[in-house]
Amino acid sequence: MASDSTFDVVSKVDSQEVANAMNQAQKEIAQRYDFKGVGAEVDFSGEKILMKANSEERVNAVLDVFQSKLVKRGISLKSLESGEPFASGKEYRIESSIKEGIAQDVAKKINKLIRDEAPKGVKSTIQGDELRVSSKSRDDLQATMALLRDFEEADLQFINFR
């Protein structure tokens, strides 16, 4: 008797890689000529990542430097959630956060996508902040993985393929 094959769909980010990207961005901002004297910096502020500079253009440039460091470290920008620049006293700030786990509404969209477009024998269930996908055919599961790689709303990884 053949048992079901399964895999889990998760959205996780390596926090050490985020810290490394943050350190690289801090070094580049400290060295670059166009950031001299504008109060540009990027720091952790609790769970948030806080970028500061004295003008809206400079704080957007700080965000751009940080995003490029994340990409070089292999972290998808789908995991970074950034707000709009806002004035705080004499400086502008952007607060960002790293998204971990699959939100309930996104999990429902993934579930619907699997139901509508994946091969017929594939089933998925939501388990907290991840999804378990199962099928009798491993080929159907691999086709489902290929379908989910194009999903735009979250950075997805596939683990526990059995």
Collapse the DSSP code of 75 into the 3-class scheme (helix H, G, I; strand E, B; otherwise coil) and give the result.
coil
pLDDT digits (tens, 9 = 90+) for 9-63: 888 888 888 889 999 999 999 898 888 888 888 888 778 899 988 988 899 999 9
CATH number at residue 143: 3.30.70.860
pLDDT digits (tens, 9 = 90+) for 57-113: 899 999 999 999 999 998 888 888 888 988 888 889 999 998 888 888 888 888 888
pLDDT at residue 1 greater than cutoff 60: no
Beta-carbon contacts of residue 149 (< 8 Å; ≥ 6 apart): 156
> How many structural domains comprise the chain?
2
Given its phi and psi angles, is residue 56 left (phi above 0), alpha (psi -120 to 50 degrees) or beta? alpha
User: 145 and 77 share a domain?
Assistant: no
Pairing of strands 157-159, 80-82: unpaired
Can you tell me the distance from the alpha carbon of 83 to that of 80, in angstroms, rounded to the nearest whole number?
10
Placement of tokens 């490394």 in the chain = 20
The range of the structural domain enclosing residue 138 comes to 5-12+102-159
Q: What is the pTM of this model?
A: 0.81
Task: Let me know: does 140 contact 20? Beta carbons within 8 Å.
Answer: no
Q: What is the pLDDT of residue 65?
A: 92
CATH number at residue 24: 3.30.70.990
Percent of the chain beyond pLDDT 70?
Answer: 98
Task: Let me know: does 97 contact 49? Beta carbons within 8 Å.
Answer: yes
Can you tell me the distance from the alpha carbon of 28 to that of 82, in angstroms, rounded to the nearest whole number?
20
User: 34 and 94 share a domain?
Assistant: yes
pLDDT digits (tens, 9 = 90+) for 120-147: 888 888 888 888 888 888 888 888 888 8
